[in-house]
Amino acid sequence: MKSQSERKLNLNAFLAASGHHQASWRHPDAHPEKGLDIKHYLKLARIAERGLLDSVFLADGYWANAGTLEPFTMLSALAAGTKHIGLIATVETTYNEPFHVARKFASLDHISKGRAGWNIVTGAGPASEQFSRERHPEHHERYASAEEFVEIVKRLWDSWEDDAVRNDKHGGVRIDESKVHTIDYVGQRYTVKGPLNIARPPQGYPVLVQAGSSETGKEFAAKVAEAIFTAQQTYEEAQAFYQDVKGRLAKYGRVPGQLKILPGLSPILADTEAEARDIEQELFDLIDLDRTIDQLSSRLGIDLTGHPLDQPVSLEGALTTGQVNGMKSRHQLILDLVERERPTLRQLIHRLAGARGHFTFTGTPLQLADLIERWFRNGAADGFNVMPQLYPGGLERFVDKVIPELQNRGLFRTAYEGTTLRDHLGLARPENTRHVHK
């Protein structure tokens, strides 16, 4: 295990068409028409790779206006156009089958030569009407199902021993059938015989990432995940979350280094703070206030349409987190923000517009490096899920201005030291555990 002085930051770039500010697509420097253009995303991935980042990440969901490319198709294309950068895809458990997900991630891991990662989500947005389901499962049901789902996927990856593929031309043995096994899984929700129809992934398992910060989500992460994408609004909240989740690992026989905690960080960068504030104001001015207020009203369960923009927001009558059946942690984050800061409606809109509740930053590269170092050295983060509010310029500035400063401080690598995403994250390749389930 590395000492505190030897630890290095883990950095992921969260891909987006035009940026993570809700009005980024309207900015003069943005190119929303490239949202379905693979060349655009390949450019972003190559910028991230030039900056030696661990990975790029593609969010996904089945809501009607998602407007994003399908993750496996897109990341396979990026794999062919990059050499080192990890490739993390969001794939829901609620509206998929374990066999399909196991096969697709094994394929992506083979295509990329060991650079795949799976962001495991249970499906916050109702999609039952797209999949012949009578209803969207409740939060606790989705997590119970997800735990079983992930277990099956791991067993399917393990259904091929590492040396099952022989390709022995002289002996006439292509695949050693004695080393390919059924899993014969029978659970509460799934019955899967196996084996998988593709060899074990190069990494053993693609890196397992999780993005829920509810109580159930934190427990699931402590048991299953190897990295967490989380949203924390303050340094103190990030420290508390970090200590909480890391403190749950021991009960599952795990140690802190086996789980990387990566809060979202959504920067606006410029050479001076005044210039950065100007960009921030440009984006604020492009927000569609009426639509945003409608969306916020729906999320909170209270009508804010007639609320004065410069009067504090009241939570009287708002939905509690217990009443919400999707993205509970994000809902609680908004409630906590309102209680803590008593913002006006305008201030609340601006706080959430930058990155949907993730931590936002506006200033210079040096100021951002100071913030990153503080969080990293003081138990608030193992690194960050970087979410520039404007693409591609925001990512270019981060790579060209912030990364060199982090390297000068000894906080970040100066070259890739391995070939797989597990290598980048300092995670061990899991042994085949098939014998455990006999």
Task: Give the mean pLDDT of 179-206.
Answer: 97
Task: Give the mean pLDDT of 188-215.
Answer: 95
Kindly state the DSSP code that residue 401 receives in the 8-state scheme.
I
Kindly state the DSSP code that residue 30 receives in the 8-state scheme.
-
Question: Is there a contact between 177 and 199 (Cβ–Cβ < 8 Å)?
Answer: no
pLDDT band at 317 (very low <50, low <70, confident <90, very high): confident
pLDDT attached to residue 139: 72
Query: Cβ of 3: how many Cβ atoms within 10 Å?
Result: 6
* Angle separating helix axes 38-50 and 71-81, nearest 10 degrees: 50
Query: Cβ of 436: how many Cβ atoms within 10 Å?
Result: 9
Share of the chain above pLDDT 70, in %: 95
Share of the chain above pLDDT 90, in %: 75
Judged against a pLDDT cut of 80, whether residue 150 lies above it is answered with yes
pLDDT attached to residue 1: 47
Residue appearing with tokens 């950095």: 11
Judged against a pLDDT cut of 70, whether residue 326 lies above it is answered with no
Query: Cβ of 62: how many Cβ atoms within 10 Å?
Result: 16
Hey, what are 235's tokens? 């340094």
* Domain 10-272+357-437 homologous superfamily, CATH: Luciferase-like domain (3.20.20.30)
Q: How do residues 367-398 score in pLDDT, each as one tens digit?
A: 999 999 999 999 999 999 999 999 999 999 99
Q: Where are the domains of the chain?
A: 10-272+357-437
Paired residues of 384 in beta bridges: 11
pLDDT attached to residue 242: 97
Choice between 137 and 334, residue whose per-residue pLDDT is larger: 334
Judged against a pLDDT cut of 50, whether residue 306 lies above it is answered with yes
First to last CA, the chain: 31
Question: Is there a contact between 266 and 389 (Cβ–Cβ < 8 Å)?
Answer: yes
> Max CA-CA distance within the chain?
80
Question: Is there a contact between 13 and 48 (Cβ–Cβ < 8 Å)?
Answer: yes
Q: How do residues 59-105 score in pLDDT, each as one tens digit?
A: 988 765 667 899 999 999 999 999 999 999 999 998 899 999 999 99
Sequence-distant (6+) residues with CB within 8 A of 46 are 81, 82
pLDDT band at 437 (very low <50, low <70, confident <90, very high): low
Mean per-residue pLDDT of the chain: 92
Choice between 220 and 330, residue whose per-residue pLDDT is larger: 220
Q: How do residues 251-260 score in pLDDT, each as one tens digit?
A: 999 999 999 9
Residue appearing with tokens 């999780």: 210
Q: How far is CA 76 from the centre of its chain?
A: 18
Please state, in angstroms and rounded to a whole number, the distance separating the CA atoms of residues 1 and 249: 15
* Structure-derived torsion over alpha carbons of residues 123, 125, 127, 129, reported in degrees to the nearest 10: 150
Q: What is the pTM of this model?
A: 0.92
Q: How do residues 399-426 score in pLDDT, each as one tens digit?
A: 999 999 999 999 999 999 999 999 999 9
